[in-house]
Amino acid sequence: MRWPAIALAAAVLLHGAVVAPAAGSTVTELVFERGLLAGLAAPARLHYRVEARGKDAAMPSAEEALMEVRAAAAAGEKEIWFDIPSGDARRELGPVAASSQNPLVLVFLQRDVNEMGRRTGGAPLYFQQQIRKAFNAPAEAEAVTVQLDGRELAATRVRIRPFRNDPNIARFPGFREKIYEFVVADGIPGGLYRIAATTPDPLTGELLLEKSMTFKGMER
C-alpha cells in the first residue's frame, strides 16, 4: 500500500471540551500524524460496525469487523490482524506492523479504491493517488462530539472531496462529489470513531453508495 508515511505522536485521553481544529488543517495533520494507536499499550480486540447503504448497494447491510492487536512491545511496535467482511465471505489480513497510526484507515481506503477500480475498470492506483494528494490539502474539519457507552467524547470530523477538482475525473464522473470522512477522538481506543466513503449522484445529490466503519467497543 503506497499511502503516506506515518509520523509518531503521543495519544492523550481528552473527554472534556471540544476544541475546533485550526483553519487549513489537513488529513495528514488531523488523522495520520495524530498517533491514533499510540494509547494501546497491550493486546486488545477492537470491534467496528461495517455498513453499506444507498441506491447502488447490493442491499443495505450491517456487519462487524475485528481489528486485533496481538502483540504490543514496550517501544510501541504492534502486530495487528484483521477479520473483515468481504462480499459473502470474510477475509483475514495480517500480520500488519504498526506503532502509532491505526492501520484500519489504510485498510479501509485500499478496499475502497480496489472496489472503485472493479466497478469502473479504472486503475486503483489512479484513485489512490488523487486521495493521497487531498491528504495534504486543506480539509473540511470541525469539532464534534460522539457517544460511546453513555459518555460524550470530544472528536474531530474531517472531510475531503479528492475528485471534485481533478481535471481527469470526466472519465469517472460518478465520483466527482465523493466524500471521505474521518471522525477521530482521543477518548476512543484506537483513536478512530468512524471512517466513511460516500458517493452522491453529482447531478441530483441522491445517495448512490455509502460504506462506513464505526467503532463499537474493545475487549482486552
The string of DSSP codes covering 80-99 is EEEEEEETTEEEEEEEEEES
Which position has the grid cell 486488545? 44
Summarize the confidence of residues 92-103 as an average pLDDT: 90
Percent of the chain with pLDDT over 70: 90
Amino acid 157 reads R
Model confidence at 63: pLDDT above 60:
yes
Sorting pLDDT into bands at 50, 70 and 90, what band is 23? Answer: confident
pTM as predicted: 0.88
**Grid coordinates of 129:** 493517488
Domain boundaries, the chain: 27-39+49-58+102-219
Please tell me the distance from the alpha carbon of residue 214 to that of residue 50, in angstroms, as a whole number.
Answer: 7
Please tell me the distance from the alpha carbon of residue 61 to that of residue 39, in angstroms, as a whole number.
Answer: 31
169-194 pLDDT, tens digit per residue, is 999 999 999 999 999 999 999 999 99
Which position has the grid cell 460511546? 148
Highest mean pLDDT among 62-71, 80-89, 153-162: 153-162
Strand, coil or helix: 197: strand
Please tell me the distance from the alpha carbon of residue 13 to that of residue 153, in angstroms, as a whole number.
Answer: 10
